[in-house]
Every structure is written in C-alpha cells, then in structure tokens.
Structure 1
Amino acid sequence: MIAVMCLCEVLSMAAYGCYPALLPLLRDDWALSNGTAGWISSAFFVGYVAAVPVLTGATDRVDARRVYIGSLTLIALATLGFGSFATGPLSAGLFQALAGAGFAGSYMPGLKILSDHVRGPKASRAVASYTACFSLGAGLSVWLAGLVAAAGGWQAGFWTAGASAAAALVLALVAVPATPPPAPAAGIRHRPWWMPPDFRPVLRNRRAIAYTLAYAGHCWEMFGLRSWLVAFLVHAGAAAAWASSLGGAIIASGILTSFFGNEMAMRLGRRRWITVAMSVTAVLAGVTAAVAGAPLALVLVVVAAYNLMVMADSASLTAGAVAESDPSVRGAAMAMHALLGFGGAILSPITFGLALDGAGGDGDPLGWAAGFAVLALGGLAGLAAFRRIGGGGPPPTVTISRGDGGNG
C-alpha cells in the first residue's frame, strides 16, 4: 500500500516541476518580467488553494479514491493542455491553475488514503515516506522537464509530464483501494460533499493548527526556493540544460532529510525538532542570500544545504497535524493544513520575483539576496506562530502511538 501510493505520487508530480524547470526558457521566449514569471508559478498554487477545501474536505464525506482518481485525470489533461495550447502568461496561468487544482485532490487525499489504511506504529513512517516522495517526485520532475525540453522543446517537456500523470492514473485505477469516509462523530454534521467542510472543529484544536501554521512558513520557503532555483543556478553560471539537472538533483536530495527529520522528531520530540530545523533553515536562507554573487561551486554547496534543511521538518509537520487531528474530521483538518500551507506557496514565488525586480533584477546579486531574505522571513514567521500557539489547547482526541514521538 505504501509503495503504491508513493509511486502514484512520484508519477503524478512530473507535472509539478515543469514550469519551474523551464522558467528561464519561457521567460525569454515570452519576454516576461520576473514578477510575471513568478505569477505563472504561483497560479499553480492559486488553483490548489481554491480547490483544496472542497476536494480534500470531501474525503470525510465520500470515498477518497473517487476524489483521487478524478484529480489525477485533471493533472494529466491540464499538463498536456499547457504543452499544446499555452501561448503566453494568461493561458499558461490557466493551465497551471488547473494542474494545481488536480494536485489539491491528489496530494492530501492520497495521504488520507494512506493514513486510513496504515495504522499503529507504522503510521508515522508511512507519512514520512509519502512526504519524502514529494521531494523525490519534485526533483525528478525538474530533471525530466529540462532533459526532454533540451531535446524536443518546452512543449515536449509538458507532454512527457502529462503522460507520466496518465500513468499514475492507470496505476491508481488498478491498485488503490476504496476508502469510504468514517462515520461522523457525535455532534458533527457533515455538509454535502461539494461544499467546503466546517472548519470550526479544526480551528478549535490549537495543537493541530500550530503544526499547520508552521507548515505555511515551511511551504513559503520550499516553494519559493523551488520556483526560482533553476533560474538562480543560471544566474550563478550554470548552462540552462545543466541548471535543470542540477536543480532536480538538489530538490530530490530532500528525500534524505525528510526521512532523517522524522527519525529525529521521534527521538527528540516533534516540537523540539521542528524548532531546531526551522531555525537552522532561516540561517541557511540568509547564507544563500550572502553568496548570491559567489562562484557556482560555492552557490551549489550552500543552496543544496539550504534545500536539505527546508525538507528536514516536512514530514514532522504533516505527521504532527495528522496525529493531533480528530479522525472524524481528519479530511477537514488536512484541507486546512493544505489551505494555509499552500497559501504561503501562492505568495512566495510572486514576492520573490518582485523582490528580485525591485533590488536590481536577475543579473544583480543584490536582487537574488533580496529574494532569499524574503524566504527567510516567511519561515521565521511560521516558527513564531508554531511556538506561540502550539503549547496550549485541549489534548488531542486521537491516541498517538509510542513510535510517533508525541509533541516533544
């Protein structure tokens, strides 16, 4: 079950990294400003945030497999559509938003399918495996898009990613089991599946919401970095074709620290480990800003270290939110987790691009330093919210297994 869900995730994520990998090429071909290029990247997350309350929240009321299958279909069609019909910022943004909406119904609902079928001591590592494969899929998508585009043009990159998402759809149809919704808890009345869920029971759970707010800071840094990584490597002196391969390898390496971070959280406690990891991440964002004009070799070392630490708390944040949530409203809790988390992902690529333009443009190291400083500030804001909110509130309604490591 874990292997099937992780493989579906990696295959479907081929669409995720296409635009960031090809941003330098499309920016030049379409004569885009950095702000506009960032907006197209953010359109993916606009679609995600618009759809996630309905699609992820619906898994408390309908079979999560139905949501998952339909969403994989949307990813495949939107990505193939980008390669076939996108001609500028508006059409590109539309297809990006549609792909993001598909991702809203596949990533968190896929995690819910997994968490509903894998319980007990294995649950934390199952979540860690799934979230770690996010880095693997993201890295492979950037690498694949750059490789295919170098041989056949940017359209071929999107067509290949769409075919990969279609392969995930076929695998899910064959191997993903039915996942009927749980019976509602006493006092909770579910809305029709097509309406956003009632988030009030979720918002009352301070300890779960603390993980979600920290996740928003994490996503601000992670998606801001991934959206601009390839372009940053081109600025540092890497050839465009090599930059996508290097960027893909850097992103994929995050799978290592995602697993490592989960193990550290089990030993130190989640709260303590998340505090350490987010603090170190902010420091490395500052170091990345400082070396924006340095030789390529130094830039690669520093930005790779930054990416590794960005992913060090990913599994712990999501596992904590899942563990602290009430099973009867877990779909709503995961929808809120994704909504606030990916809300940060909408704003960070745009803000990075605006900071880059405002501080000298992509040819000026000061512009890149400003962009990475913006990422650091968002991560620190998430950490501050986590420390302030997460220490109180009622105890969780779900028992945490000893292997999950608790809250530290």
Structure 2
Amino acid sequence: MTTSIRGDFKDASLTPRGKDRIEWAAKDMPVLRLIRERFAKDQPLKGVRMSGCLHITTETANLAITLKAGGADLVLCASNPLSTQDDVAAALVNEYGIPTFAIKGEDEEIYYRHINAVLDHKPNMTMDDGCDLVSTLHSTRTELLPNIIGGMEETTTGVIRLKSMEKGGVLKFPVLAVNDSDTKHMFDNRYGTGQSSIDAIIRATNILLAGRTVVVFGYGWCGRGVASRAHGMGANVIVIEVDPVRALEAVMDGYRVMPGVEAAALGDLFVTVTGDLNVIDKHHLERMKNGAIIANSGHFNDEINIPALEQLAVNKRRVRDFVDEYTYGDGRRVHLLAEGRLVNLSAAEGHPASVMDMSFANQALGAEYMLVHAKEMQPRVYTLPKELDQEIALLKLQAMGITIDTLTPEQEKYLNSWESGT
C-alpha cells in the first residue's frame, strides 16, 4: 500500500498499466474529449476545490482529467469498497497528479477514512456516487458546509437519499441529480448496467445463461437493461415489481411477473436493481433451490439480507473469486456474488466507456453549470436543463457519424400554434 499526501492507493508499480487502460477508455469517450478541449481553453472551473467520491475506474479517470483540465483542484476517493481499479488509482496519482484515496477491498474503517481525507481538502463543490460524501458532510463534517457552493450526484440510490434529505429539510446546499438526465439514466442505467452486470456475473461464475431462469428484482431503467440482456442470451426472465405500471410494462415486454416469494423457488440466478432494503429477504432465501446464485447491481449491498443468509447457513466458503458459497442445514447451497456489493464494478470493470461518455459529460457540464448558477439555487435537488441534455446527445450522435433532421420554420410554427386543425 502506498500512502502519502497525494493519496492512499495500493501499488505505484501499477501506474503504467493504469495509464494504458485509461487511454484505451478515452478512445470511446469523444464527447468528454470535446468538453475537455474547451475546458482546457476556457478554464471554467479555475480555483474550485472539488472533492469526488466516485467509482475509481478508467472512465472516472477520464472525467477527473477533464475536470482538472478545466482548472478544478480535485481530490478523489472510492464510492464503494470493491469498485476501485488499483492500477487506475495509481495512475491518477503518479501520471495525472490527481490525489486519490482508494484501494480495492478496503474495509469500512478505511473507506470512511478516505472520505474524510477528501473532505480535508475543504471543497467548494462535491461530486458523489451514492451520497456517502454528502451524508458525511451533513453528519460529522458540518463545519465544512459553509464552504460548499453545490454538488452533483451520479446514481439513483444517491438521488433517493438526497431527496429524502431535501424533504426532511436537512440538505444545506443545491445538488444536481445527474442521474435524472435522459442522456444518463436512459443509456448508462439501461445499456451500461444491463451489459456490465451480465458481464460480471459470467466472469465470476462462467455459467451459461441460455435456458436458465433469471429473476430481476426491479424494472426501472437498470432492471430493464438486465432483463433485456439476460433474455438476449437465452434466459427465461421473471420480473419482480411493486409499481403496477412498471409491472405492466414488464408483462408487455414479454416477461413473467409474479411476487418474489413465488419466483424464489423457480430462479437459478437472482439480480437486484432496486435501491431499496432487503428486497431479497429471509423468506426468499429459505425457498431458493440448490445452486441458486444471487447478485446485486444496486449501489449498496443492503438489497440482499446478508445477515439472514448468514443465519441460514451452517457453512460458508469462497469457491471462486467473488463467489461465496453458503451451505444450508439441509445441504442446499446458495451462492452470493461479490459479497452482495454492486457486481458489475466488483467482479468486472463497470460500464463500457462509450456509455459513460454521456454520463460523465453530464457531470462535467453539471459542475460548470453549478458554478454559474449556484447563487440562484436553493438547497434542493435539481436536474440539468434539457438544453444540456440535448447538447450531449447531439455531440454523441456527431461522434458516431450520425446526422438527424431539423424542423422547418413552417413545422415549428405549426407545432407552436393552435389554430390549425381538421
């Protein structure tokens, strides 16, 4: 482990490999590259002290390089104990000069020590993925709150927590819900989570999905992605939902929908993507068949009642990297992937760079927008303006070599009038 004022990371010798992988991701992030070129020229973030609690991956590294190019004084820590790519953390520090506090597999004590280390930077702006940074600010580091202009939040779970803080009247500065931008949740959550979750499950287990029954808990954008990718690989998909509209949508998309307790006895593979607590609970675990596999693609491992699983088991052993086998008293064996943490970043590399290109373009432009507009904003959760969303989508299309039509003046007039009819 390498520790210094520059950060806390595993091994400096990993730097060259991290640099190569960061550059590999960069080639699929053309929108962020265009933003970085403008940032380097205009310096919109000059003088801003920024603390980021994000997944330390090759894609995040390209965001960090962009923010630094824009003038930000940036420090980073991990937003999940298992999501860090150690070579990337080393390269961020040694190649790009961005202090990074992140070690794959760090325990809870080190995890929060790292969060406090980036808060010691006395930030003016936060960038969070899951709201652990902001919640720490509001609980144990309140002396720093007067310095904060505003923040950005990357993921669904974090937005849920922030809206709870807003509703309770405890949120002390404005936060942009980057996750709620169309060019984030419709692509990152659906295509990114869908592909990367299935990728991670296959890497960890080497199972064949064709012919198996896959149970997806939650049919939001992430759940849609996981279900469609599993179905595309030949799995029989069951969806569990509490929202009647989403449940109906899943039925119309061709999936079986039923209560979780019924699906528990049928499933070969279970994937949670809800952002809620104990969606796989003891009564589900008790009914699972021998050989069942459980994975979580939500931000926190709270989605699976792991203490209940521990109580049901008479033996636990690690059978493969990221696969723990729990043996019940009757001999049944149930397998938990990545300790119940978000499987796509724990057992694989997270989302492909091409989809994170849009998500992190939202983060970069969100930081710029926050700096300009924070004084007009209340301590609430906001979404980015539609115009920025459409700008990112247009840049992505252009990078893909795709052009689209535009409305004629006559068509615009027609759409903005009420006089014309049959």
* Same fold, judged at TM 0.5 (above): no
**TM range, smaller chain:** under 0.3
From the two aligned structures, give the one with the greater helix fraction.
1
From the two aligned structures, give the one with the greater strand fraction.
2
Identify the structure with bigger relative contact order (alpha carbons < 8 Å, sequence gap 6+): 1
Report the structure number with the largest CA radius of gyration: 2
TM-score (norm 1): 0.26
TM-score (norm 2): 0.25
